[in-house]
Amino acid sequence: MYNINHNFTYRQKDKGWQVILSYKDGDKWRQKSKQGLKTKQQAKDAGNKLLAELQRTFVPSSNELADITLRDFIPIMLRDKQELALSSQKAYKKTAVFFDELADKPLRSITRQQIIAILNEKSQYAPKTKELRLTTLRSILNHARTNYGLVSINPASRIQIPRPKEAKKIRAISAVEFQSLIDSKVRKGCEYYKDIVMVAYYSGMRYGEIIALEWGDIDFHNYTLTVARQIKQQPSDGKPVYAVGPLKTQNSYRTIPIPALLVETLEKVARTADRVFPLASPYTHNVNQWIQRTLPHTSIHDMRHSYATNLIANGVDVQTVAALLGDTINTVINTYLDFTEDMRRAASDSVNRIFSK
């Protein structure tokens, strides 16, 4: 929290008490006051409330921030951007940890060469992690430049993270593997794991979207699922709090056609509440643990990968696949336009059939 230079004045006025909060903003002193209070103690309490409100909303003048450090500027930027999701807020806060050598330097003294040197030194981090930290740093410095005039040029702009020559391959399970998973056993009380896996495999929905699914989202007549919300972590000062919230992007709102097999499965799920599955947390550890007893190195998110690759392998165009996944076309192209083993076999059969005529 930014340290505000301030003082209080208490005085009797009009048969009551008045409190005046004086605070320094750049080169000027400003005031807030409250009057009509019966006792001096009430005036002190009112003064503390005025200060708390000021600390919550105060944005210092730019000249006051001239030497502000990266670590101290991040809370100011987050206060300016209160609409950010909790996950984004956490990502911004981690920027000062990742760029620890720069965290306590004035923003105006940070150079492009220093940023590049730190990125090169952090060889233990994956390129994707480096890209995320660089993106948040770039955004912080851009906010400092455009909103406060603290830097004239963003030193993080136009820095590129080298990509590995071989991208990490996604895991798409075969129909045989999927059936072996569905045929496996689950302990009592966790039978819904199979149903969740089936929804993921046959609809491509994300786990947080699946556990937020409500009965009203299922059209049993037209064989569709509507994705309208997700379970996610909410801002909290104590233990993590999870609740239904909006989807991350506008693309994520969608209606998905589903096969009769999935409709039949969902019809058999017990209706004990508005939501289809009785899970409160968006974390996937338990369901992944069950999946990995049958399919090692496999997660619930791999069902989404399998859905996408199955559609592409069977000739569904990229634009439609992106719409069904709630992703952008570029994400689908960059993630899924690669051969799986099933796709290779299908291509081999096609080549033999076409060129044997």
Pick the most confident of 2-11, 239-248, 260-269: 260-269
- DSSP conformation letters of 21-43: EEEEETTEEEEEEEEEESSHHHH
Please state at what angle helix 192-203 crosses helix 301-313, rounded to 10 degrees: 30
CA distance 146 to 141: 9
CA distance 39 to 166: 72
Strands 224-227 and 16-25: unpaired
| Per-residue pLDDT reduced to its tens digit, 89-142 | 999 999 999 999 999 999 989 999 999 999 999 888 888 889 999 999 999 999
**Structure confidence at residue 66 as a pLDDT band (50, 70, 90):** confident
| Per-residue pLDDT reduced to its tens digit, 50-63 | 988 887 766 666 56
pTM here? 0.55
Cα 34 to Cα 10, 112, 120, 169, 232, distances in angstroms:
10, 48, 55, 63, 41
For residues 190-201, average pLDDT: 91
- Domain parsing of the chain, residue ranges: 6-58, 70-148, 175-352
The dihedrals phi and psi of 12, each to the nearest 5 degrees, come to -85, 135
- Whether residue 340 is predicted with pLDDT greater than 60 in this model: the reply is no
Q: What is the pLDDT of residue 237?
A: 60
CA distance 247 to 253: 7
CA distance 112 to 159: 8
**Structure confidence at residue 232 as a pLDDT band (50, 70, 90):** confident
Lowest mean pLDDT among 57-66, 132-141, 187-196, 328-337: 57-66
Q: By the 8 A CB rule, do 231 and 208 touch?
A: yes
As a CATH number, domain 70-148 is 1.10.150
What's the whole-number average pLDDT of the chain?
A: 86
Q: What is the pLDDT of residue 347?
A: 57
Q: What is the pLDDT of residue 238?
A: 63
Q: Which residue has the tokens 């969740």?
A: 196
175-352 folds as hpI Integrase; Chain A (1.10.443)
Q: What is the pLDDT of residue 167?
A: 54
| 202 φ/ψ sector (left φ>0, alpha ψ -120 to 50, else beta) | alpha
CA distance 121 to 152: 27
Q: Which residue has the tokens 């076999």?
A: 345
Lowest mean pLDDT among 39-53, 56-70, 241-255: 56-70
- DSSP conformation letters of 49-110: HHHHHHHHH----GGGGTT-BHHHHHHHHHHHTTTS-HHHHHHHHTHHHHTTTTTTSBGGG-
Contacts of 276 (CB under 8 A, 6+ apart): 213, 214, 215, 218, 266, 269
